[in-house]
Amino acid sequence: MNATLRIPFETLHTFGQMNVHLTHELQNVMATISETSGLLEDLAAFRTSGGGVDPARLEKLLRRIGEEAGRGQRLVSRINSLAHSTDAPAIRLDLGRVVRFMAEVSSCFPKSRTIRLDICDRCVALDAAPYTVQQLLYGCLQAAFRGLAPDQEVALSLRMEGNICVLRLSGLAKLAAADQEEPFPDRPTALAAEALDATLGLDRDAGILTLHLQCVTGGD
Amino acid sequence: MNATLRIPFETLHTFGQMNVHLTHELQNVMATISETSGLLEDLAAFRTSGGGVDPARLEKLLRRIGEEAGRGQRLVSRINSLAHSTDAPAIRLDLGRVVRFMAEVSSCFPKSRTIRLDICDRCVALDAAPYTVQQLLYGCLQAAFRGLAPDQEVALSLRMEGNICVLRLSGLAKLAAADQEEPFPDRPTALAAEALDATLGLDRDAGILTLHLQCVTGGD
């Protein structure tokens, strides 16, 4: 307890970045709710002063508020889960679950993205810092989304090879030479990979990114 | 750029804790909006099938949604500002502004608290990591709130003495002996104080907590 565990600043930075993106989405949600309820209040006030609220319009606007509130609840729940990932410096993780969560978190930025998941059923356990695993996955997914057309989707598979867990992202865009110059992994991702003793590979021509990670249990 | 700046795990943990508290508040906001709009949808559906929506009730429920949306926007904006505090490892800060922000962030948990602010007008500048300053202030405010009755308020003053900035929290509860055993500062706060070369003092009998911090500019 006396020894202070130190983590790279980049871990906190990545954590902040994820929250920045999620709160931007949430700001849009709150603005829509606020505007829609304001519009309804105007309509209701107009009605009491002799006008009328079209029932179909009323229901449509209320449905919009309900839908946005649902979207807001999902976003808040993600920010809350991210926040709880800092509860302890290391725990036993269900990697499949963390991958699902990060795919969910990452799919809304930089813009809405589709990720097709194929995650092996067997529980893949890992003793690690949840925030570091999240940082690594976030870095991989952000790299996978680079240069992707809006209609393109990325496929993510998670498989065990002995006690090595192999995460594979395929369907990545073939980037122009200028874009290819951006190094992969970037510094936060490289630091997370180093901390987890993970191996990263990116084949831009084939459009495939791989991540090898030593796990506690496994074997297909 | 090659040297990796390392920060204590506790910094990330405190950051996470603040987000946990803020998202709990936000979950309540979203739940209220969702329930109220659901109730309105039911009322509207009833109306179209022959019933009637009482205009006063309609307006009351819409006002509630609008108010909660406003509260939600303020909470989201705080989470967003916290997230942006991880943008850079050190910047020139306006300490008065950071204190105001942290008073705002901290006043909603553990439960709603009143903090009377008295912050000197002169810009108090500090070259430091915003998240570390926030962590220190958060730790002080949490300690100041301990054992406080719901109707008690804490007074916070910020003054310059030469180029030392003195933050003083007064009106703290006189805790029972058992409660006094909890050490102050706790570990995250002590680490933040150490990183900022700040001096902390707590006089539980007088109900006063002080923080001395070296600043870049100042002098009353």
Nearest CA in chain A to B51: A55
Q: Which of B44, B66, B84 sits opposite A37 (nearest CB)?
A: B66
Give the containing element (helix H, strand E) for B123.
Answer: none
**Residues A67 and A155 reside in one and the same domain:** no
The edge-to-edge listing of strands for the beta sheet with A208-214 is A114-119, A153-161, A164-170, A208-214, A199-203
Q: Which of A45-54, B109-118, B184-193 has the lowest mean pLDDT?
A: A45-54
Q: What is the mean pLDDT of chain B?
A: 89
Do the chains contact at B80 and A20, CB–CB below 8 Å?
yes
Mutating which of B48, B57, B58, B59 best tests the A interface, going by the most A Cβ atoms within 10 A? B58
Tell me: ipTM over 0.95. no
Chain A residues with CB under 8 Å of B59 CB are 41, 44-45, 48
Lowest mean pLDDT across A113-122, B10-19, B80-89, B134-143: A113-122
Whether B128 is covered by a domain: the verdict is yes
- Please check whether residue B157 is in contact with residue B210, taking contact to mean a CB–CB distance below 8 angstroms: no
The verdict on A80 and A99 lying in the same domain is no
Q: Are residues B32 and B100 in the same domain?
A: no
**Chain B residue with minimum CA distance to A24:** B80
Residue A52's pLDDT is 60
Neighbours of B145 (CB within 10 A): 20
Structure tokens at A26: 């949430």
A33, A34, B35, B39, B156 from B64: Cα distances, Å: 12, 11, 11, 12, 32
Mean pLDDT computed over A35-51: 78
Q: Is residue B219 part of a domain?
A: no
Predicted local confidence at residue A47, as pLDDT: 63
Same domain for A170 and A194: yes
Is-contact B65 B36, C-beta < 8 A? yes
**Last residue within a domain, chosen from A84, A110, A126:** A84
DSSP secondary structure code for residue B108 in this structure: T
Q: Are A32 and A64 in contact (CB under 8 A)?
A: yes
Chain A hits for B10, Cβ within 8 Å: 4
Q: How many domains does chain A have?
A: 2
Residues A122 and A208 in one domain: yes
Q: What's the rounded Cα separation, in Å, for the pair A134 and A125?
A: 14
Residue A166 domain-assigned (yes or no): yes
Q: Which two tokens stand for residue A219?
A: 């074997």
User: What's the mean pLDDT in B48-56?
Assistant: 65
Q: Classify residue B220: in a domain, yes or no.
A: no
Q: Are residues B78 and B97 in the same domain?
A: no
Interface A:B, Cβ pairs < 8 A: 167
- CA–CA dist A112, B163 (Å, integer): 49
Residue whose pair of structure tokens reads 């092996």 in the numeric block: A120
What residues of chain A lie within 8 A of the CB of B27, using their CB?
A: 73, 76-77, 80
The enclosing domain of A116 has a CATH number of 3.30.565.10
Count CA within 13 A, CB hemisphere, residue A198.
Answer: 27
Looking at the partner chain, which of A19, A41, A187 has a beta carbon nearest the beta carbon of B79?
A: A19
- A159 has which bridge partners? A166
Residue type, B194: E
Sort out which chain A residues have CB atoms less than 8 A from B73's CB and list them.
27, 30-31, 34
Strand B114-119 versus strand B153-161 pairing type: parallel
Q: Is the pLDDT of residue B192 over 50?
A: yes
Name which residue leads in pLDDT, B211 or A109: B211
- A132 and A37 within one domain: no
Residue A1 lies in a domain: no
If you average pLDDT over residues A112-126, what whole number do you get? Answer: 86
Please report which confidence band the pLDDT of residue B176 belongs to, taking 50, 70 and 90 as the band edges: low
State whether B12 and A10 contact (CB < 8 Å).
no
Residue B188: is the preceding peptide bond cis (ω within 30°)?
no
**B98 plus B166 within the same structural domain:** yes
Which residue among B24, B57, B84 closes a domain? B84
**Above 50 in pLDDT, residue A219?**
no
For B85, name the nearest residue in chain A, comparing CA atoms only. A16
Q: Are residues A61 and A123 in the same domain?
A: no
Closest chain A CA to residue B13: A86
Residues B34 and B80 in one domain: yes
The predicted-structure confidence for B99-147, as pLDDT tens digits, reads as follows 999 999 988 766 778 899 999 877 789 999 999 999 999 999 999 998 8
Domain that holds residue A137: 91-214
Of A179-183, A190-194, B75-79, minimum mean pLDDT range: A179-183
Averaged over B164-189, what is the pLDDT? Answer: 84
In terms of domains, do A108 and A200 share one? Answer: yes
B153: helix, strand or coil? strand
Task: Identify whether residues B132 and B190 lie together within a single domain.
Answer: yes
Q: Does B34 fall in a domain?
A: yes
**Beta-strand relationship, A153-161 and A114-119:** parallel
**What per-residue confidence (pLDDT) applies to B75?**
96
| pLDDT bracket for residue A96 (50, 70, 90) | very high
Question: Is B207 part of a structural domain of the chain?
Answer: yes
The mean pLDDT value for B189-194 works out to: 96
* pLDDT at position B16 over 70: yes
Q: Is residue A5 part of a domain?
A: no
Of A62, A84, A106, the residue at which a domain comes to its end is A84
| Residue of chain A with shortest Cα separation from B52 | A55
